[in-house]
Structure formats: C-alpha cells, structure tokens
C-alpha cells in the first residue's frame, strides 16, 4: 500500500494518457442530468468530482452509493458506472436499471461483469489497469470521470492543465507531504479522529475517513461546515481528550466559514486540545483536492504502521461479500 501511495503521481499521469485516448460515442439526446454510480474506492471519485464540477456544471450531478437509481434517470441522463473490479453488486444493479431506462451509459472499470455487459450491450467502456485495491486506484477513476464530463460538455477542458499541475505539485511537495503526514499521524495515533471540512471539500473528508478506516483499521467520523454548526457542535458537550480533530483549511474559503471555524475551535478546545489544521496547497480546486488526497493517504499509511496493522487486508469486507454470495 505504501508503494501504491508513493506511485500516485505516476498513476495520475497514466490515467491522463488513458483519458486522452478514450473515444466515446455522442449522446443521441441532450443531457439534462448526470448520475454516477459507485461505492467505496470506486465511488469516492464520483463524490469528489461532483463537488469539483458543482460551480461549473449546467446540469445537476448526483452520486449514488446503493442498489438503486433515482426516478429522474431517463434517456436524457448520462449515467456513469464506476466499479474498479467490475463486480460490485450494487453498481451492477444500477447498471441494469439504467439500461432499462435507456440512459446514456459510460462504464469505468478494470474488467469483470461491468466490462462484459458493456461489451455485449455496446456501451461506452473505459478500461483502467486492474489488480490493486480499489482505494489505491482513485487516480484512475477520478481522472476518467473528469474526461467523461468534459466529453459531454458538462465541464470545460480546463481541468486537463489543472490535473497536470496537480501531479507536479505533489511531486514537488513530496518530502513536505511525507513529513507533515508522519507528524499528524503521530498526533492522532491512539485517539479517535473527527474530520471537518467546508462544503465543497466534503468528498476529501470522506476519502480521508475511508482511508483511515481501511488502511489503519480505525473508526473515525467526519462532518461538514457549516452543517455541523446546526447539530454536531452541540454534541461536543460529550467530547474528550481521546478525540483528535482534523480540519481541512483553504486560504480561499468563504469568509463566513472562516469565522465559523474560529468559533468552532473555541468551543472544541474546551474538551480536547488535539486540534490539527491541514492547509491546502495549489491554485485550482483540482490541485487542492489532489494535494489533500495524497496527504491524507500518507497519514493513513503512517497510522497503519504505528498501529502495527496490515494496510492492505480487508478480511471483514471479503467475509461480508462471501456471506452475501450465499444468499
């Protein structure tokens, strides 16, 4: 897992090459909305991309992480099926439902049943390299999602330069990222992490939580500002020093959110001194997102090392899938 995280810049470069070569068929109808289906490491890219595109997309982008698709999905909907293995049962069910609704479908996978169905039904198919844990291949899926949205004019092609700059950023900051990640991991080791981010970085917070869950084998929570100011802040009355708070910060964050974070810290520090702020680097939202993702991944791997656990194994998930296959 450590090698896979270290290879993230190269994965992004390879993903860009794949995206540049992809040929997608045109939609027969004007696209009125987008639905992205994916779970876990395959689905988090959809969450992050939907937030990156939110301020620019002329149509709504909805992400589904279950067995079903929304009622609005029809022949005017672009449905993107994202399953790294190609065998995610929830996503396969969504694919079959989207076929019945005659939606415009694009599949992103390394193979499996999704690739088989896409080939049989002559659907647009983007094949990405397989053989690794899905969570370690976010660079492939996230990049292809951006290319698909750009192909259908949901976003402009400006993302291409920003994505390339992101690779240069995390390579340039490699030693600083590793050093900061190790320091943060040491601070939150032995504590329960609570992760906070502002609205359009919630996907980043979720990704970080998922990486801590799977790599470090730890429970943790996340919430988004300002929503948490309407509920969770009250819950801090039961806070303790056993909790460590991580806040994703951005120098360009909305001034009202900035003020909220200042007040939040005043409330939280009454219950725990363990408050860590992680500041973004980069100019564009894509650069900032990639930087946060990479830093969070390194933190999770250092936490795994400090806890003495295998970052790769997910036996409990394999067990769950095995039991479900019997039903």
Active-site positions?
Answer: 214, 230, 321
Separation CA 237–CA 255 (nearest Å): 26
Q: 77: which strand partners?
A: 33
- Under 8 Å between Cβ of 78 and 174: no
- Under 8 Å between Cβ of 149 and 49: yes
Give first-to-last CA distance, the chain, whole Å. Answer: 32
Separation CA 24–CA 41 (nearest Å): 24
Residue 83 CA from chain centroid, whole number:
13
Q: 107: which strand partners?
A: 81, 125
What is the crossing angle of helices 40-53 and 202-216, to 10°? Answer: 160
Closest CA to 142 of 120, 167, 174, 124: 167
């Amino acid at each position: 897992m450590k090698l896979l995280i270290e290879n993230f810049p190269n994965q992004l470069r390879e993903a860009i090459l794949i995206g540049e070569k992809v040929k997608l068929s045109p939609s027969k109808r004007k696209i009125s909305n987008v639905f992205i289906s994916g779970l876990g490491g395959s689905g988090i890219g959809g969450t992050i991309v939907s937030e990156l595109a939110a301020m620019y997309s002329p149509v709504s982008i909805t992400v589904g992480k279950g067995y079903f698709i929304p009622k609005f999905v029809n022949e005017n909907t672009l449905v993107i099926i994202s399953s790294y293995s190609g065998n995610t049962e929830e996503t396969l069910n969504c694919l079959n439902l989207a076929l019945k609704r005659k939606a415009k479908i694009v599949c992103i996978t390394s193979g499996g049943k999704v690739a088989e169905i896409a080939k049989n039904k002559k659907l647009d198919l983007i094949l990405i390299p397989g053989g690794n844990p899905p969570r370690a291949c976010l660079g492939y899926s996230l990049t292809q999602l951006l290319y698909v949205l750009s192909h259908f004019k949901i976003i402009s092609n400006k993302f291409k330069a920003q994505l390339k700059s992101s690779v240069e950023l995390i390579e340039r900051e490699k030693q600083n990222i590793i050093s900061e990640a190790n320091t943060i991991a040491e601070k939150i080791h032995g504590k329960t992490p609570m992760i906070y981010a502002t609205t359009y970085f919630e996907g980043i917070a979720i990704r970080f939580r998922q990486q801590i869950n799977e790599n470090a084998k730890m429970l943790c929570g996340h919430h988004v500002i300002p929503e948490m100011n309407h509920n969770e802040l009250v819950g801090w009355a039961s806070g303790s020093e056993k909790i460590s708070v991580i806040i994703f910060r951005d120098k360009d964050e909305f001034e009202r959110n900035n003020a909220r974070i200042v007040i939040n810290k005043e409330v939280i520090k009454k219950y725990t001194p363990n408050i860590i702020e992680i500041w973004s680097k980069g100019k564009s939202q894509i650069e900032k997102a990639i930087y946060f993702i990479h830093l969070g991944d390194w933190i999770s791997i250092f936490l795994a090392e400090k806890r003495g656990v295998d970052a790769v194994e997910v036996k409990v998930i394999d067990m769950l899938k095995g039991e479900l296959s019997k039903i």
